[in-house]
Amino acid sequence: MAIFPSLPHLRRSFSSSIARRLRRPPAARSFTTTEGSRPTIVHKRSLDILHDPWFNKGTAFSITERDRLDLRGLLPPNIMTPQQQIDRFMVDLKRLEVHARDGPSDTNALAKWRILNRLHDRNETMYYKILIENIEEYAPIVYTPTVGLVCQNYSGLFRRPRGMYFSAADRGEMMSMVYNWPAEQVDMIVVTDGSRILGLGDLGVQGIGIAIGKLDLYVAAAGINPQRVLPVMIDVGTNNEKLLKDPLYLGLQQHRLDGDEYLSVIDEFMEAVFTRWPNVIVQFEDFQSKWAFNLLQRYRNTYRMFNDDVQGTAGVAIAGLLGAVRAQGRPMIDFPKQKIIVAGAGSAGIGVVNAARKTMARMLGNNESAFDSARSQFWVVDATGLITEGRANIDPHALPFARKLKEVSHQGLTEGASLVEVVKKVKPDVLLGLSAVGGLFSEEVLEALKDSSSTRPAIFAMSNPTKNAECTPEEAFSIVGEHIIFASGSPFLDVDLGDGKIGHSNQGNNMYLFPGIGLGTLLSGARVISDGMLQAAAECLAAYIKEEEALEGIIYPPISSIRDITKEVAAAVVREAIAEDLAEGYRDMDARELQRLSQEETVTYVENNMWNPVYPTLVYRRD
């Protein structure tokens, strides 16, 4: 730790009275004052301190220092001793050897993440230029799958904080803490409570990595200005016993708050951020299902917010499902005839079946009986098997999809039937996994899918990261056949089927939609995010794929075109917000002017408002 007398340039800048006081000959009490215990006077606060290697103590700043120096919320809540900091660093330093033993790919991915992260700390413009120009190569590093590994190892990887941390210990303080963030304007917040990070479970405070990764895509794909994004971690504790026992864990070492106590923390956070930044958009990310639906219902009619896992995933799945219908050489309007098995009844799985049912109902006439009959196209299987009305203590969110016992008994199925039994009996057109269970689509399940009644069965192994995918494309193509459609949440390479044929590995990930949903909401000035705006986003993505591509088994566009896709999706969201009379305008584009824009002009309007990574000319002006 640097001590004042050893920093002559700072001594010069001190007010003479303070300097005189500090240069006074040792007073009587000085026999107790050692060199290290004298205070160091600093003329900086907030991030300026954290970014200054002379003064920065990182996680070792005490609670009173955090308050005095406006650091509250800018660091993970657990205060570390200097020795704990060193221990954490050494664990990380040694990890290279450990990973070299475990397998080379993880080490390489983490090493790339570190190099990119260091650049992010030094020069944002250059960082995002590299990311945008090489998105296909580096999205898997800053996003899934590597971001999962980063979250798992975050205590060791943590260097310079990014984003804000609000913890259960900050109750009553959030309204003032939010002013510790240096940016006057924030457009996009991605917030997590770390309770279900990808398919990796409860990672507590370490989940901040997913908020950072999602916002990287907001900048790269949607052109949100990086100075106006804010990753947020709400630390209400963790139920991960391993983390609770780890002395180097950076979060609160207590079990998660629950019930009203939990809600009061999230309420306080929402009130604080919307008070300081009334036009911000908040994306909820990777909250366990229990809270994902509840918080969405609680806030969606009051705040500009959405839940990416429930709503973004649903839209991406719908686009892919419509693509799979077209891949069979059938019109999209045939979608309501598809038999769909969904493995996983959490925030993502239930979000998908809800949206798919509504899409079918719209195609069937958009009335109550259409909505009713669409229900029978879905079979939902969770950890205890097929969900039927015979299930005790059924989750209310899954209830609308519980099969009637009579119905399933006709098919030779019962409550809790296994996935393989359900596949055998239903012979589905689509098998979609959002279970977080790697390998769930086992050889037996894929063998059973060979009897699908579809000409081109579709397999969506959507769980993340890679090791949680329900199956690999190699397994799917080799077991079920070359005619299938395949999509996964994390990226896989295409499969060489021989004779010049390629089995396409599509990436079915909400990254195709959330940046456009956020950007479109921002630029329309819509006060809330409606189902119609989300539906418009999904339809736009579905329409992005050309007929001949669909016939080749391509149901999602390449990641390299994500900036263009996002622009189109955002424009579709803006237009829907206008159509629903939700748009209030953005900056000097008021609602009336927005309304006058043609479809083409809306796309140009969106494009003109996307940030590009070019160095601006800087001019110094004293405030």
Ligand X SMILES: NC(=O)C1=CN([C@@H]2O[C@H](COP(=O)(O)OP(=O)(O)OC[C@H]3O[C@@H](n4cnc5c(N)ncnc54)[C@H](O)[C@@H]3O)[C@@H](O)[C@H]2O)C=CC1
List residues with catalytic annotation. Answer: 143, 214
* Under rule CB under 6 A, residue 196 binds ligand X: yes
Per the annotation, does 184 bind a ligand? no
In this complex, which beta carbon is closest to ligand X, that of residue 313 or of residue 359? 313
Residue range at the interface with ligand X (CB under 6 A); choices 12-20, 194-202, 527-535, 558-566 = 194-202
Find the shortest distance in angstroms from Cβ 329 to Mg ion: 33
* Under rule CB under 6 A, residue 286 binds ligand PYR: yes
In this complex, which beta carbon is closest to ligand PYR, that of residue 344 or of residue 489? 489
* Interface map 398-437 toward ligand X (x if CB under 6 A): ---------------------x--------------xxxx
Residue among 194, 199, 226, 320 that touches ligand X (CB under 6 A):
199
Residue range at the interface with ligand X (CB under 6 A); choices 35-43, 56-64, 65-73, 379-387 = 379-387
Q: Which of residues 428-457 bind ligand PYR (CB under 6 A)?
A: none
Q: Which of residues 457-476 bind ligand PYR (CB under 6 A)?
A: 464
Find the shortest distance in angstroms from Cβ 210 to Mg ion: 7
Q: Which of residues 539-558 bind ligand PYR (CB under 6 A)?
A: none
Nearest residue to ligand PYR by CB is 464
Distance CA(457)–CA(484), nearest Å, equals: 5
Give per-residue burial for 195-209: e unless 16+ CB within 10 Å, then b: bbbbbbebbbbbbbb
Distance CA(168)–CA(259), nearest Å, equals: 13
Nearest Cα residue to 460 out of 327, 371, 590: 327
Q: Give CA separation, 318 vs 23, 124, 325, in Å.
A: 71, 34, 11
Residue among 202, 308, 539, 568 that touches ligand PYR (CB under 6 A):
308
Q: H or E segment at 605?
A: helix 599-608
Distance CA(367)–CA(388), nearest Å, equals: 25
HSE (side-chain half, CA atoms, 13 Å) at 281: 27
In this complex, which beta carbon is closest to ligand X, that of residue 344 or of residue 473? 344
Residue 435 binding partner per list ligand X, ligand PYR, Mg ion, none, with a CB distance cut-off of 5 to 8 Å that depends on partner kind: ligand X
How many CB atoms neighbour CB 254 within 10 A? 15
In this complex, which beta carbon is closest to ligand X, that of residue 187 or of residue 382? 382
Per the annotation, does 607 bind a ligand? no
* Under rule CB under 6 A, residue 323 binds ligand X: no
Residue among 110, 305, 319, 440 that touches ligand X (CB under 6 A):
440
Which token pair is 327? 């891949």
Contact 518, 606 (CB under 8 A): no
HSE (side-chain half, CA atoms, 13 Å) at 468: 23
Compute the C-alpha angle 229/527/593, nearest 5°: 95
* Under rule CB under 5 A, residue 202 binds Mg ion: no
Per the annotation, does 70 bind a ligand? no
Query: Which residues are at the interface with Mg ion (CB under 5 A)?
Result: 286, 309
Query: Which residues are at the interface with ligand PYR (CB under 6 A)?
Result: 144, 198, 286, 308-309, 464, 489, 509-510
